[in-house]
Structure 1
């Protein structure tokens, strides 16, 4: 049965995989101080435990024709479970929404929407977001530039 706790060797493996998921088992093991077989076993155990959720290619959104990021704050009319579930189900179907967080504070959700241009955002807003039942208000903020982007979690030692 895979364990869900991670130790320092697992942390080294995770940091290395976050930096470059294409490392071979041998290269990964060298970075963590393991031979290939125990390295592969630890990675497999972390995959099975859900610590490693998957592997992706990080794509430059501007270079694929999607240069616009819009941060959208959503306030619902009510925060009942049914409304929250309905909202989550809807945004899960829309590929323009690349991040969605349930929030505390003034707004209920914060979304990051990625589109090719302003008319595409307007269409998304009019045809999808404003038609969603239970939405009380929508506030859009356009990103002017990206200062930092990282997929690497700050894995620190315990203690």
Structure 2
């Protein structure tokens, strides 16, 4: 059964849009933007958190400012597709800080990894020393990002 989109009114959508743009806004600042009192904004935000619509808050860091100059997408194709192999692979990926996102995919590759590394040598070490030696991995293909012209955007509301 497919889950339907939650019922959100215009104020909820405007609140979510404002928080996606800047999660540091105070209840008073949000209230001024939305034409509500800070207590009304606080109650709405709390409800959206309790319903799981607001999942968490975080800061977006600049990878280049941190010396992470190489961003790559790495496709991983498994040789064996058993549940234990998948669990071991997911556990391995969970230990790698340079892998910032991981998805199970349809198509030729089984997994897509988003990686940030200091340089090409660090990406090569990840692939050659970590991924390829894993016994259930058959193939790894990397695609290095040349330029990101659109940053991770807010979700459409």
**Within the alignment, does 1:36 sit opposite 2:38 as a pair?**
yes
Q: Which residue of 2 aligns with 1:77?
A: 79
Q: Which moved more, 1:81-90 or 1:63-72?
A: 81-90
Summarize deviations over 1:39-72 as a string: whole Å, max 9, x none: 1011112222322122111111111100101110
Shift of 1:133: 2.5
Summarize deviations over 1:46-100 as a string: whole Å, max 9, x none: 2223221221111111111001011100001133322222221211111000111
* One of 98, 101, 110 as aligned partner of 1:99: 101
Partners of 1:84 and 1:39 in 2: CA distance: 43
Structure 2 unaligned runs (5+)? none
Question: How many matched pairs?
Answer: 152
* One of 128, 131, 138 as aligned partner of 1:129: 131
Aligned-residue CA RMSD (Å)? 1.6
Partners of 2:39 and 2:30 in 1: CA distance: 11
TM-score w.r.t. length of structure 1: 0.88
Native 8 Å contact 2:127 2:140 kept in 1: no
Q: Which moved more, 1:108-117 or 1:32-41?
A: 32-41
Report the 3-state secondary structure (helix = DSSP H, G, I; strand = E; otherwise coil) of the residue aligned with 2:121. Answer: helix
Structure 1 unaligned runs (5+)? none
Q: Which moved more, 1:104-113 or 1:40-49?
A: 40-49
Shift of 1:108: 0.5
